[in-house]
Amino acid sequence: MSARVYLIGIAGPSGAGKTCLATRLAAELKGTVLGLDRYYRDLSHLSPAERDQFNFDTPEALEHELLMQQVARLRGGESVDVPRYDFNTHTRIGATTRVRAGTVVLLEGLFTLYWPGLRESLGTKVYVDMSDDVCLARRTERDVSERGRTVESVHSQYAQTVAPMAQKYVRPTIVHADITVFGAGSMETEVAQVLAHCRARITSPTLKSVAGGSAGR
């Protein structure tokens, strides 16, 4: 794959382990992680009660137009100013975060493999699978400790929108993955699988050296 920057996409249901895998791969590849969660639409025009009723688990909840514009720029080697999102208030913070392209960029989020235009830009497409019960447990721990949620509210949202929308929009995207891993498996094995695919796809000598060896090794 010829491009100045190599893109790796990681998709899967909430709580599957996408962020953990992306972080580990970024360390191995000296890459940059870009979470799709940063592109949630600003809901400051809604009342707090209306925000609480918003369905965050559909593709339309993300400003995918901006996402694709910025991914295209990153792939071309440009830096971009990425939105910052406050999950406690469901609004964007005024300041942005400068993300530099680097050599490898890892995109991770629910809908990474959903939009055809985004999929086509990815050199390696990964789907992280996980059962609903484990996903719910992990999501509960995260949202209670990091986002000020109650256990009851997390469980209610999971039953009403998270699980049904994952079944409708997220889980079907597994068919687009080059690699499927199970989020409770060996992290070393998962990383090795992704690196092997990258080596087979990368043509640039610079990128190839970052991925750890010659293609097909």
45-80 tens-digit pLDDT: 999 999 988 999 999 999 999 999 999 999 999 999
Residue 15 belongs to some domain of the structure: yes
CA distance 5 to 104: 6
Residue 144 lies in a domain: yes
Give the pLDDT score at 3: 58
- Under the banding of pLDDT at 50, 70 and 90, the label for residue 204 is low
Q: Residue 124: inside a domain, yes or no?
A: yes
Q: Give residues with Cβ within 8 angstroms of 105, minimum separation 6.
A: 5, 6, 7, 8, 31, 32, 33, 34, 71, 74, 75
Residue 94 in any domain: the answer is yes
Q: Looking at the domain assignment, is residue 1 inside a domain?
A: no
Quick one: pLDDT at residue 205? 63
Domain count, the chain: 1
Mean pLDDT of 200-211: 69
Judge whether residue 1 has pLDDT over 80: no
Average pLDDT, the chain: 90
Please report whether residue 53 resides in a domain. yes
pLDDT tens per residue, range 162-192: 999 999 999 999 999 999 998 787 899 999 9
Q: Where are the beta strands (DSSP E) in the chain?
A: 6-11, 32-35, 80-86, 91-99, 104-108, 124-129, 179-182
Full domain range(s) for residue 60? 6-211
Query: What CATH number does residue 61 fall under?
Result: 3.40.50.300
- 216 domain-assigned: no
In a domain, 173, yes or no: yes
Q: What is the pLDDT of residue 217?
A: 35
Q: What is the pLDDT of residue 169?
A: 98
- The pLDDT score that the predictor gives to residue 2 is 42
Asked whether residue 96 carries a pLDDT value surpassing 70, the answer given is yes
